[in-house]
């Protein structure tokens, strides 16, 4: 199956999804639908040990397409975007992101939602959504669970961008390597997983998740409702998105 915005590969237990929408892999609805299609196809695939997200171009991903996030398109955009995470959650096997360059907004959420992250030292992580008058729903759900409430509050409320080393110190990524070594280091990183039983990996991931007593779906549903029914109805959310597209500073009304 040929895709326009991604490349996919399956070999020896490793399913790879390569973001390929030049130059900076902005996630638009069409691209996310392609990701969802392959994730759907791989549900219940017995010989799949690990899903790897990597990228081509200047960076991993500079985020979600803001232009497709306005007005009537917002519920569709959120639906397609969150479907990626629902499918990653239900696929039940370990997921890994191999990240370099900008990894921002929805791109950052995609990377850090993965169970494992290997990062190039030049990578930059951040959730700048608050600066354009919205918040990152997936980060709101997952980040407090990965890096703790204080660090998550800092990143999500400030929208600041952090280096790969700071992300490593926070526990947002597993390993940082030199830029030129990312490909070989990723290949090396995945090898141990491919020697294991896919079914045992599934059960083990399920046990770790159960140990947190934490189902993804109910909490995401509440966050989605706040996002679509409360946040998107504020004047400031509309103003922030509009200002971003018009390349000007937002004028907040605090309403």
pLDDT tens digits, one per residue of 182-196? 999 999 999 999 999
Q: Band of the pLDDT at 8, cuts 50, 70, 90? A: very high
pLDDT of residue 26: 98
The residue length of the chain stands at 255
pLDDT of residue 225: 95
Please determine, for residue 94, whether its predicted confidence score (pLDDT) is greater than 80: yes
pLDDT of residue 160: 98
Contact 224, 112 (CB under 8 A): no
Please determine, for residue 174, whether its predicted confidence score (pLDDT) is greater than 80: yes
Of 16, 21, 121, nearest to 61 by C-alpha is: 21
pLDDT of residue 35: 98
Please determine, for residue 36, whether its predicted confidence score (pLDDT) is greater than 70: yes
Task: Please report the domains of the chain, with CATH numbers, ordered by start residue.
Answer: 1-179+197-255 (3.90.226.10)
Share of the chain above pLDDT 70, in %: 100
Contacts of 182-187 with C-beta under 8 Å, sequence gap 24+, read 182/98, 182/100, 182/118, 182/120, 183/98, 185/118, 186/52, 186/54, 186/96, 186/98, 186/118
> Which residue spans within 38-126 are E strands per DSSP?
50-55, 95-99, 102-104, 116-120, 124-126
Contact 16, 96 (CB under 8 A): no
Q: Band of the pLDDT at 69, cuts 50, 70, 90? A: confident
Please determine, for residue 1, whether its predicted confidence score (pLDDT) is greater than 80: no
Calculate mean pLDDT across residues 139-159. 97
Contact 164, 119 (CB under 8 A): yes
Of 90, 82, 83, 110, nearest to 21 by C-alpha is: 110
Calculate mean pLDDT across residues 116-135. 97
């Amino acid at each position: 199956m040929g895709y326009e915005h991604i490349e996919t590969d399956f070999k020896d237990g490793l399913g790879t999804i390569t973001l390929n929408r030049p130059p900076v892999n902005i996630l638009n609805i069409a691209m996310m639908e392609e990701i969802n299609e392959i994730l759907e196809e791989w549900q219940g695939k017995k010989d799949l040990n690990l899903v790897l997200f990597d990228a081509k171009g200047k960076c991993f991903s500079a985020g979600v397409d803001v232009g497709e996030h306005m007005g009537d398109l917002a519920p569709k955009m959120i639906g397609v975007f969150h479907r990626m995470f629902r499918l990653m959650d239900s696929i039940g096997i370990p997921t890994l992101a191999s990240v370099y360059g900008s990894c921002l907004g929805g791109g950052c959420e995609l990377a850090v939602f993965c169970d494992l992250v290997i990062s190039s030292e030049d990578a930059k992580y951040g959730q700048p959504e608050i600066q354009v008058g919205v918040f990152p729903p997936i980060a709101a759900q997952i980040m407090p669970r990965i890096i703790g409430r204080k660090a998550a509050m800092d990143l999500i409320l400030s929208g600041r961008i952090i280096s790969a080393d700071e992300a490593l110190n926070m526990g947002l990524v597993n390993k940082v390597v030199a830029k030129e070594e990312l490909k070989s280091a990723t290949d090396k990183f995945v090898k141990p997983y491919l020697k294991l039983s896919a079914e045992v990996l599934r059960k083990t991931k399920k046990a770790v998740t159960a140990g947190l007593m934490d189902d993804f779906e109910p909490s995401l549903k509440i966050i989605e409702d706040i996002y679509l029914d409360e946040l998107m109805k504020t004047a400031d959310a509309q103003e922030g998105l509009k200002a971003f597209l018009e390349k000007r500073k937002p004028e907040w009304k605090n309403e």
